[in-house]
Amino acid sequence: MNWKQVKEMHDNGMHIGSHTCDHIDCAKTDKNELVNQLTLSKKVIEKELNQGFTTLAYPFGGKENFNEIAKKEAINAGYNCILSAYGGINDSVEKYDIKRVGIDWTYSELAFQARLYGW
């Protein structure tokens, strides 16, 4: 995608968040590079889309792909919330470790509702 397409999506109500610059494994990346990736990605998105609220979705998103250092540096970089991808239901939301489950276009409305409730 190019920035024109991203802006069109944003202008039509989609929130665009960060995934770092180069899809790094946040748990295995040198701290300086991690900080650079988090900071630059956030800065570019906010500039290009003229938005001040930026979320982060950890690349790969498994529990092994982020750690307390990554979480701390994302918070220091100013991210408002962080999404994982290891699954699970958020009984209460920890805004720097929001769990997500996969849902796609093949889900019926009933299957979608079931997924929301952890079935």
pLDDT (tens digit, 9 = 90+) per residue, 19-36?
999 999 999 999 999 999
55 or 104, greater pLDDT? 55
Please, are residues 78 and 53 in contact by the beta-carbon 8 Å criterion?
no
119 or 33, greater pLDDT? 33
Please, are residues 63 and 43 in contact by the beta-carbon 8 Å criterion?
no
3-state secondary structure of 18: strand
Q: How far apart are the first and last CA of the chain?
A: 34
**pLDDT of the residue at 88:** 79
Which pLDDT band holds residue 43 (cuts at 50, 70, 90)? very high
Which pLDDT band holds residue 113 (cuts at 50, 70, 90)? confident
Residue 56 predicted with pLDDT over 90: yes
Question: Residue 96 has what DSSP assignment?
Answer: T
**Torsion angles phi and psi, residue 109, rounded to 5:** -60, -40
**pLDDT of the residue at 86:** 85
Query: Tokens for 70?
Result: 């990554």
Residue 55 predicted with pLDDT over 80: yes
pLDDT (tens digit, 9 = 90+) per residue, 65-110?
999 999 999 999 999 999 988 887 788 888 998 988 777 889 999 9
Is the alpha carbon torsion for 11, 15, 20, 24 positive or negative?
negative
